[in-house]
Amino acid sequence: MKLIKLRVSNFRGIAGNSVTAGIEIDFENIDLVYLIGQNNTGKSSILHSYEYFVNSSINAKLNDFHNNNSEPIIIEGWIQAESDEDRQHSAMVNSMDHEGVGRFKKEWVEIGGSANKYTFNTTDQCWDIGGAGGFDTLLQNACPEPIWLRGLDDVEIILANVQKLIKEKVIDNAVSSSRIGTIQSELEELRKEILQDEYSIKLESRLNDMMQETFPDLKVSLFGDKKDDISKKLSSFIHTDINFSNRQGQALHMSNHGHGIRRQFLFNSLRGLNHVFKEMETARNRRNVEIIDNIDQKDTSSRKKMLLIEEPELFLHPQSIRLFSKILYDLVNRENGNPEFQIIAATHSPIMIDLSRDHTTLIKTNINDLGDVCLNQVKYSIFDEEEKEHMKMLNSFNPYICEAFFNDKVILVEGDTEAVVFRELLNKFVENGKISYNDVPLVVNCGTKNNIPSFQKVLNHFKICYTVIHDLDDTLNVNNQNNSAWTLNFTIEAGIIQVNDPNIARRYVMERNFEDAHHYSHTSSLGKPLSAYRLVQGWDVNDTSIKAVEALNYCIEYDPNLVFDSNWVNNRDNSTVAP
């Protein structure tokens, strides 16, 4: 079973009420969610909200209520069955609709109080208090189990997480072995021998005689027919203890290592165990989802894990960040069926992001004018296969390319020359007080004009303010055929029209190309980027007759007098008409 929707209201930085949720995250067809955004924009609130939803023992504190108000905290989760076995699970069978979705809700109405619990009645289309009965056990069995990877976890917490995963898999494997069945049979024979032993019979008979002296109609039975399942006792029988040593065999404690090594150990453990998780898939029907916690549960369907990760890049070397990014994508790989994990990770690292991957999503968090958390989520794949290939290539070329989606103001440029020019111009703007350092937009080198529309798609979804600066180019190429770069002028404009707000998306077009617009030719011995860099050094940042200066001013502040629409482009069509 998996989480497919999470709604949160009035929780910490998240506003909302019983009518309109403060935030809603859609996990349908999604296994990995990256939360991106500035500090203090609600990412941690989202991670904690899931823990509050699943955990049965959390009482609400004063600062859990948004702005310390008196409105109830409301957290609602939708859980979907992924198999016929899931549909027969006792946690879902009485609460799911015809699509296999069960809806559950918790409300905290007072400080220090526990949550009121509700299950959605699919017949009457209303919320039932308490719902299907055994609500806490129901949620703990149906919802993916939260596993935290916090930024500054103690050594003991890290080891406990790894040991629990290892222990669970060891028990899973043991339960499916024939040896367990043999032991169970032998214990049953031993139980019968004890019950039929002369001493046991005499003891029961003696107590019966004494009881019937007073209550002749009652009979005492000392031994019931209930038999314990040995598999549920394995947790107390099997212990895991992770120890470390150096090459010389000397014992080392993990506390002697920095946070980077500690986190890397946990990540490597997940990576190493992942293939075990997949191999265990076929044995799921024998697994009791609560063996480790010793909860008496008849169903034997599997329980997913929900990894809640704070800044996975923290304390890691860049190469380790790339490796961990791959680990997360591998953990949710669907090639061998439904993955055992769902993941929500809050990150500030563009290296973690790969928009070419399936079943992943980005959610950008921000604060609106009222001080409330708002989300912009890409709920489906916005790229076709060719565009995915472009993004995959760009990630390989420049792993920081996704930094564009972490910023609030972006300038998209075609290539190296423009990137050098506008980054240097921005430095000069800051030095001359034309813009503050905090307001400097991010210049993104898209690699080619062809890639600009792909970036526009994501920026449009996230409602990130951007300006495209690109060449007009010639209508025909050197072979006197239609120039694809000319056609892109209209594709780029279409992306801007989709936003329909020049304060959010606009463009500046260099007539023909950067060199023509600035009436210069690059020095071949220096190359285009270095030639352009030297050119910028002689520019006056107040001289708007310089097209790049005018363009940068336009990026910083919209000027309605500058128009680069399709009419402007068509008026500069320089194709020749055959006689």
pLDDT one-digit tens code per residue, 492-545: 999 999 999 999 999 999 999 999 999 999 888 888 999 999 999 999 999 999
Give the model's pLDDT for residue 299.
Answer: 39
Q: What is the pLDDT confidence band of residue 355, given thresholds at 50, 70 and 90? A: confident
Cβ 376 vs Cβ 35: under 8 Å: no
Q: What is the pLDDT confidence band of residue 49, given thresholds at 50, 70 and 90? A: very high
- Residue 145 has which token pair? 């189990």
Residue 269 makes CB contacts below 8 A (sequence gap 6+) with 162, 165, 166
Distance from C-alpha of 469 to C-alpha of 490, rounded to nearest angstrom: 14
Q: What is the pLDDT confidence band of residue 236, given thresholds at 50, 70 and 90? A: low
Phi-psi region of 412 (alpha: psi -120 to 50; beta: other; left: phi over 0): beta
Give the model's pLDDT for residue 282.
Answer: 40
Average pLDDT for residues 450-456, to the nearest whole number? 91
Q: For the ranges 200-204, 220-224, 366-370, 518-522, which has the lowest average pLDDT?
A: 220-224
pLDDT tens for residues 372-394? 899 988 765 667 777 777 677 66
Distance from C-alpha of 285 to C-alpha of 305, rounded to nearest angstrom: 17
Give the orientation angle of helix 484-499 with respect to helix 452-462, to 10 degrees: 0
Give the model's pLDDT for residue 426.
Answer: 97
* Mean confidence (pLDDT) of the chain: 83
- Helix %, strand %, coil % of the chain (to 5): 40, 20, 40
pLDDT at 430 over 50: yes
| Other beta carbons less than 10 A from residue 47's beta carbon | 20
CATH 3.40.50.300 residue ranges for the chain: 2-155+297-367
Q: Which of 113-127, 189-203, 239-253 has the highest mean pLDDT?
A: 113-127
Give the model's pLDDT for residue 290.
Answer: 37
CATH number, domain 385-570: 3.40.50
Give the model's pLDDT for residue 343.
Answer: 94
Average pLDDT for residues 72-94, to the nearest whole number? 85
- Residue 496 has which token pair? 């801007």
Domain 2-155+297-367 has CATH 2.60.40.10: no
Question: Residue 473: helix, strand or coil by DSSP?
Answer: coil
pTM of the model: 0.76
Residue 148 makes CB contacts below 8 A (sequence gap 6+) with 51, 157, 161, 308, 310
pLDDT tens for residues 271-304? 666 555 555 444 443 333 333 333 233 333 457 8
